[in-house]
Amino acid sequence: MVKLLLLCLLVVVFDHNPNSTANREFKFKNVPSPSKDDAATQAKLTLIDGDLDGGSAELAALTDGRLPADEDEPGSNVYFRAGSSGGRFRMDFGSVINIAQVNSYSWHPNSRGPQLYKLYGADGTDPKLNLDPKRGVDPASCGWKLIALVSTISDHGENGGQYGASVSDVGKYRYLLFDVYVTELYDNWGNTFYSEIDVIGK
Ligand SMILES: [Ca+2]
Ligand SMILES: [Ca+2]
């Protein structure tokens, strides 16, 4: 399944491998497989708001190039606390880089598979830049630019499996902010199992 969503002139593509075919190789039709050596590998990750779940891996697991071997491996994924509405974290590349793609990967057999987040960027030159905007503060009001809304949520209840989402032609930024949302509110288990986030430089 492939969907195209045009927002802010940026194309977000996502792929879904259903439970029956998802495996540790994270191979997708259109989205490239996760990378062990991309611009995010050396980036500094900082939690801005929200709490990671007690069973979640450390934030660094998002960029370590390692992938879960199975569909339900909490310790190989990063996810916000059960029952919470998500949170925010920031990536710092140390200097401005030209970003071709931001690719995010997730895997869970049920409601923690799909992804929902807003991606913001900042080059660090705006004097009113707030590097740590908490929930309730619109990043766009304090020096961040909204790059894309990434949503792999389907309208026909197909939740489980493996997802890869790719934002292309992102632009020149030093910082990326991921504003990550719970994907369903039927129970406490709607925070996505994020396995890896790659940032591909130009
Ligand atoms: Ca990576
Ligand atoms: Ca990882």
Centroid of ligand 2 to alpha carbon of 187 (angstroms): 26
Report DSSP state, residue 28.
-
Counting ligands in written order, which one lies closest to the CA of residue 197?
A: 1
pLDDT given at position 1: 46
Centroid of ligand 2 to alpha carbon of 163 (angstroms): 14
Residue 165's identity, in one-letter code, is A
Residue listed under structure tokens 């927002």: 7
pLDDT given at position 9: 54
Q: Distance between alpha carbon 69 and the CA centroid of its chain, in Å?
A: 19
Counting ligands in written order, which one lies closest to the CA of residue 43?
A: 1
pTM of the model: 0.94
Centroid of ligand 1 to alpha carbon of 163 (angstroms): 15
Centroid of ligand 1 to alpha carbon of 189 (angstroms): 25
Counting ligands in written order, which one lies closest to the CA of residue 106?
A: 2
- Mean confidence (pLDDT) of the chain: 94
CA atoms within 13 A on the CB side of 125: 5
Q: Which residues in the chain show pLDDT less than 50?
A: 1, 6-7
Centroid of ligand 1 to alpha carbon of 164 (angstroms): 13
| Measured distance CA(109)–CA(91) in Å, rounded | 28
Measured in degrees and rounded to the nearest 5, phi and psi for residue 139 equal -55, -30
Centroid of ligand 1 to alpha carbon of 112 (angstroms): 20
| Measured distance CA(128)–CA(142) in Å, rounded | 6
pLDDT given at position 133: 98
